[in-house]
């Protein structure tokens, strides 16, 4: 007997059971996440995923160890995917816009939607920041606005909202690990993705983001936005005592500010951060 296949039209994903299709549409496309973790408030679409989260994250039960980098996994399929994608370099899904490659098709689709189409459909009501993933919005609200930082470093007591951020902090700050070396200039990176981005933008000259004011081009959209905020005076600064443009602020006000506040509601840059932006621009040149 041939099993009947049910289709999820928007995702083009196939299911053997209609119940699986309905569950997929409810959790993935409609964003229903009815199961919340009582430890960190992270939400899940299925109870089984909540249970798995508790076991692997809060009870730290990860039985699958990668022999190459000592990273542990709570699920065998994640362990196998990690080995195939990270250590064997198996990335068969290439973006036709920037040639970035992904190990899973779903990450390619999200990359194209958020990076090249500029679609960020999830808006934070508190600060107006937009996200491509609903889970990223929920993580942002939980850690930034609600102040949930449940993962503390045992070396310096710094706290993090996500365990992955704690792991990265320990590896880079306390262990000094930078495992990915650029063959062209010798610069080292914490993550392989950062190395690939560096090679693509710095050594291959792939810069797809142009400033509409001076036509300077950048390899990353974030660097373009930082450049525009730092160089041009379209952002006005409101001092505690006077409303001044950025260029007027340093000369007219002798008060020390850790941060100035933009009259449009955004946090503005200090002189130090402006200089850092210009340094980053020089690195890309």
Q: HEC states along 191-207? A: CHHHHHHHHHHHHCCCC
- Cα 244 to Cα 104, 225, 262, distances in angstroms: 49, 21, 10
Whether 263 is covered by a domain: the verdict is no
Whether 51 is covered by a domain: the verdict is yes
Using CA atoms, how far apart are residues 142 and 136, in angstroms rounded to an integer? 10
**Domain total for the chain?**
2
| HSE (side-chain half, CA atoms, 13 Å) at 113 | 14
Which range marks the domain in which residue 227 is found?
209-244
Looking at residue 267, the DSSP 8-state letter turns out to be: B
pLDDT of residue 185: 92
Region of 118 on the Ramachandran plot (φ > 0 left; ψ -120 to 50 alpha; else beta): left
Whether 194 is covered by a domain: the verdict is no
- Do residues 265 and 238 lie in contact, with contact meaning Cβ atoms separated by under 8 Å? no
Whether 113 is covered by a domain: the verdict is no
Cα–Cα nearest to 220, from 189, 196, 197: 197
- Residue where a domain stops, chosen among 41, 59, 77: 59
Any residues with CB less than 8 A from the CB of 68 and at least 6 apart, and which? 83, 86, 87
Whether 133 is covered by a domain: the verdict is no
Summarize pLDDT for 131-157 with one digit per residue, the tens. 888 888 888 898 889 888 888 899 888
Using CA atoms, how far apart are residues 231 and 270, in angstroms rounded to an integer? 12
Whether 165 is covered by a domain: the verdict is no
Whether 236 is covered by a domain: the verdict is yes
64 forms beta bridges with 73
Strands 64-65 and 43-44: unpaired
Q: How far apart are the first and last CA of the chain?
A: 63
Whether 224 is covered by a domain: the verdict is yes
pLDDT of residue 202: 87
Using CA atoms, how far apart are residues 166 and 239, in angstroms rounded to an integer? 35
The segments of the chain whose pLDDT lies below 70 read: 1-13, 232-285
- Do residues 280 and 231 lie in contact, with contact meaning Cβ atoms separated by under 8 Å? no
Q: What share of the chain is helix, strand, coil (3-state, %, to 5)?
A: 40, 15, 45
């Amino acid at each position: 007997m041939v099993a009947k296949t049910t289709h999820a039209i928007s995702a083009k994903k196939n299911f053997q059971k209609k119940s699986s299709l309905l569950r997929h549409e409810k959790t993935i496309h409609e964003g229903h996440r009815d199961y919340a973790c009582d430890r960190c408030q992270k939400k899940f679409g299925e109870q089984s995923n909540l249970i798995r989260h508790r076991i692997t994250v809060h009870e730290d039960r990860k039985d699958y160890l990668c022999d190459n980098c000592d990273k542990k996994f709570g699920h065998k399929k994640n362990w196998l995917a990690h080995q195939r994608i990270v250590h064997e370099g198996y990335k068969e899904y290439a973006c036709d816009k920037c040639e970035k490659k992904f190990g899973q098709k779903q990450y390619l689709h999200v990359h194209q939607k958020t990076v090249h189409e500029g679609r960020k459909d999830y808006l934070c009501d508190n600060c107006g920041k937009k996200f491509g993933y609903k889970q990223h919005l929920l993580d942002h609200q939980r850690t930034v606005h609600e102040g949930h930082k449940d993962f503390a470093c045992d070396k310096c007591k710094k706290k993090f909202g996500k365990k992955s951020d704690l792991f990265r902090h320990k590896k880079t700050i306390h262990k000094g690990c930078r495992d990915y070396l650029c063959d062209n200039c010798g610069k080292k990176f914490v993550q392989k993705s950062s190395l690939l981005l560096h090679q693509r933008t710095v050594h291959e000259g792939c810069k797809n983001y142009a400033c509409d004011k001076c036509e300077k081009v950048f390899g990353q959209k974030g660097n373009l936005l930082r450049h525009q905020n730092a160089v041009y005076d379209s952002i006005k600064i409101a001092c505690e005592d006077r409303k001044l443009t950025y260029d007027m602020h340093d000369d007219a006000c002798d008060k020390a500010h850790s941060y100035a506040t933009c009259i449009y509601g955004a946090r503005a840059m200090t002189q130090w951060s402006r200089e850092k932006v210009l340094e980053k621009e020089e690195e890309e040149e």
